[in-house]
Structure 1
Amino acid sequence: MIIRFVLLCALFLFIEFYSYQAFRTVIKLRWVLVSYQIISLLLLIFIIYSFTQFDRSIGQTKQTMFTMGLMLLVYVPKIVLTLIMFGEDIFRIGASLLNYFMYNATRKEMMPDRRKFVSQIALGLAAVPFLSLIYGIFEGKYNFKVIKQTVFFPDLPDAFDGFRITQISDVHSGSFDNPEKINYAIDLINEQEADMILFTGDIVNTHAKEMHPWLETFKRIKDYKYGKFSVLGNHDYGEYVTWPSEKEKDENFKEIKSLYGQIGFDLLLNEHTYIQKGDDKIALIGVENWGQNFKKAGDLNKASQNVHQDDFKVLMSHDPSHWEYEIKNHPKNFHLTLSGHTHGMQFGIEIPGYFKWSLAQYIYKQWAGLYENAGRYVYVNRGFGFHAYPGRVGIMPEITVIELKKGNNVA
């Protein structure tokens, strides 16, 4: 623990030292530089103090989210500065060694001065994540996008050709702070012409009471001809806080499960149902959370018991790692899996149809959008809400509309 603390302090000092070099090279006014140092020190003390006040019996609060946002706002730009300024120092050291060994330079001539234009470039680049993170906190987290995706299946029952499913995921109601924006998002959901709506878990961060102020809002989600169904996400189990007793944890879990019913969704707990349309039907299967690094309560075999091999299947499973490790090669052939969980890390770059990047891709093989393996698909919703960082940059909150089509192509 002490070694970790020392290493962390050394890292912060390293970042602070190099980020200061960029300012010092460009700005020569002493009072500005002193003010920068004082403000940096006060911010660091506040961030450290706030994190030391984290109460694991309570979990995430508005204060911890504010602190996380502030830490990213302060240190992501400083990390950019550090990388560039440290890179320049490597160049300067190399140049000094060259001067010494090849040109017999004096000690004074040996080390080149810092170049002002490099510091200016560093400050300009650091401004990009700084401004982006501010946008993400004040606007991005509620910049809801409706994403429409058509998926083709050669064995889709004829009656379901053109069947439309709205998907939402990762509500994290305990993070909300703007009723107007959430009501706007519910209106967006209701405007979509779909046959069914599916909610793939994480209705709260931890406590059932987080959803209480938003129950009436989410009750506004309209009824659908073929139903409203949901599954649990990893946060719905209340496992990220320390509970006074197992009884209180169990009571919270029971209440969380009841929340889905209170907003009109049928919660599938390792079980399935059939959706009938005309003379055809599809199996809708819902498993509890199963994650590579999270709770493994999902039981795919139990949920699909008595579902036939040739039935067309839509599966709800919160964590896409379940698809990677159990579902995509399962002998029962789960045609379409709907997941969420990753949030796309709430930070990344997306140019639809051309480019998609996020740190999430280094953790999850399937992290946002549609993926295919041997004619089986998983769609990973980017999430409705937000968690930890109180914002979104590049990876916006999502309402998905998936259309099932009979055929052999993906559009």
Structure 2
Amino acid sequence: MARWIIFILVLLFIEFYAFQAIRTLFRPKGVLVAYVVASLLVLVFILYSFTQFDRSVGQTKQTLFTFGLLLLVYLPKILLMLVMLGEEIYRLLRGGINYFYGSDMDTGVFPARRQFVSQVGLGLAAVPFLSLIYGMAVGRYNFKVFKQTVFFPDLPEAFDGFQITHISDVHSGSFDNPEKINYAIDLINEQNSDVVLFTGDIVNTHATEMHPWIDTFNRIQPHRFGKHSVLGNHDYGEYIDWPSQREKNENFEAIKDLHRQIGFNLMLNEHRFFEKDGQRIALVGVENWGRNFKQAGDLQKAAGALSNDEFKILMSHDPSHWDAEVKKHDKNFHLTLSGHTHGLQFGIEIPGWFKWSPAQFVYNQWAGLYEEFGRYVYVNRGFGFHAYPGRVGIMPEITVIQLKKGEKLA
């Protein structure tokens, strides 16, 4: 109850300062009344929707919409509030000077709010407002193909030019547009890679979320070296209250079987080899391992029989695993493929020049290619979306990675 009271008080505080900007710019009483009524209706709807959240069901289309609405309404208002608070500080300082030194006392101790400050605040607020609308209307299905070449001196000659298509974080329970998903599957097929690798989170929680999309994902063509996958943190059903452990276990088994139904070989702390022209490389797949999420991944079990010198590609859903254990591991995992972060589905990215997201304050590796100790991790930005039903700046990704033998050119 205390958390709800704090949450409501924070929203009302934001609303109060946002209203000050509206009142400064719009004098007609009818406009102000309409704004207050609309704001109250939205606030009541959001609070009501959150109180109806069912921990036994988890995320639904309704919760996606509610969270999107919360961001759409209150992120712009937070910016507006910050601008108005800045002016409030100025008014308090100016009022103190007026009070103690007696200047401008004929117009009152505190100066009136200035229209141009409110105009600046509304202008700034319009940026996230329009961005979030774009993210929900267009961004969430604005699939991009990211291509990356990675050089390894010890890559077997036969695998020079070996090409991987990497997807992650499908979150099929969030989809609502078959045409867009079919377009993304076409993009996967157009890459003509040697292998397709999927690094987890096939659903949000329930295996049934994937059922409408099984035929769609079965359209991913067979590849020369197959289609392989691992589990992500959402695949374990950890984020809802189950009626019984038996039902949770049954859901987990059904989620694992989804991979078979769409033609993927699910790897559970194990490895296999790709062989070509008498040479081979190893693919290692571990279950989810995360600092703040389920740790079912067992790297030793998955790669215990492999020698340190064999070339290895590791699939591990959460990049914090690479940061905590993989990059310094004695087995020498050359390339790790991860996902999980989604780039928080929000940020600014100019490919090859600049990228920023709040995700970087949570994860050291959150989108794209990273290297330490001569070992690499690639973090996929995610195929689907979760919580916020959109993407702003950080678009859904299909990764194409080409392995090359040799040293990276300067």
TM range (shorter): over 0.9
Partners of 2:92 and 2:320 lie apart in 1 by 45
Whether the aligned pair in 2 keeps the contact of 1:196 and 1:228 (CA below 8 Å) is yes
2:200 aligned with 1:201: yes
1:252-299 deviations in whole A, cap 9, x for unaligned? 100100100111110100000011111211110000000000000000
| Aligned position for 2:264 | 265
Partners of 1:152 and 1:95 lie apart in 2 by 62
TM alignment of 1:87-98, pairs within 5 A = 87-98=86-97
Partners of 1:318 and 1:48 lie apart in 2 by 34
TM alignment of 1:9-408, pairs within 5 A = 9-106=8-105, 108-408=107-407
1:51-80 deviations in whole A, cap 9, x for unaligned? 000001111110111101111111011111
Uncovered stretches (5+) of structure 1, i.e. residues with no partner: none
- Aligned-residue CA RMSD in angstroms? 1.2
1:100-146 deviations in whole A, cap 9, x for unaligned? 33455538433121111111111111111111111111111000000
Equivalent position amino acid for 2:295 in 1? K
Partners of 1:384 and 1:6 lie apart in 2 by 36
Residue 35 of structure 2 aligns to a residue in which SS? Answer: helix
Aligned positions, number:
410
1:359-410 deviations in whole A, cap 9, x for unaligned? 1111111110011101101000000000111111111000000011112216
Partners of 2:359 and 2:399 lie apart in 1 by 19
Whether the aligned pair in 2 keeps the contact of 1:170 and 1:385 (CA below 8 Å) is yes
Partners of 1:183 and 1:352 lie apart in 2 by 25
By how many angstroms is 1:308 displaced? 0.5
Partners of 2:302 and 2:241 lie apart in 1 by 30
Residue 108 of structure 2 aligns to a residue in which SS? Answer: helix
Do the aligned partners of residues 32 and 285 (structure 1) sit closer, same or farther apart at CA in structure 2, a change above 3 Å counting?
Answer: same
Residue 110 of structure 1 aligns to a residue in which SS? Answer: coil
Partners of 1:43 and 1:279 lie apart in 2 by 65
Whether the aligned pair in 2 keeps the contact of 1:151 and 1:410 (CA below 8 Å) is no
TM-score (norm 1): 0.98
Equivalent position amino acid for 2:179 in 1? E
Partners of 2:236 and 2:304 lie apart in 1 by 24
Do the aligned partners of residues 6 and 203 (structure 1) sit closer, same or farther apart at CA in structure 2, a change above 3 Å counting?
Answer: same
Equivalent position amino acid for 1:57 in 2? S
By how many angstroms is 1:88 displaced? 1.1
By how many angstroms is 1:7 displaced? 2.2
TM-score (norm 2): 0.98
Whether the aligned pair in 2 keeps the contact of 1:150 and 1:410 (CA below 8 Å) is no
Partners of 1:340 and 1:77 lie apart in 2 by 29
By how many angstroms is 1:236 displaced? 0.5
Equivalent position amino acid for 2:33 in 1? V
Equivalent position amino acid for 2:61 in 1? K
Do the aligned partners of residues 12 and 410 (structure 1) sit closer, same or farther apart at CA in structure 2, a change above 3 Å counting?
Answer: farther
Partners of 1:354 and 1:109 lie apart in 2 by 52
Residue 321 of structure 2 aligns to a residue in which SS? Answer: helix
Partners of 2:4 and 2:64 lie apart in 1 by 22
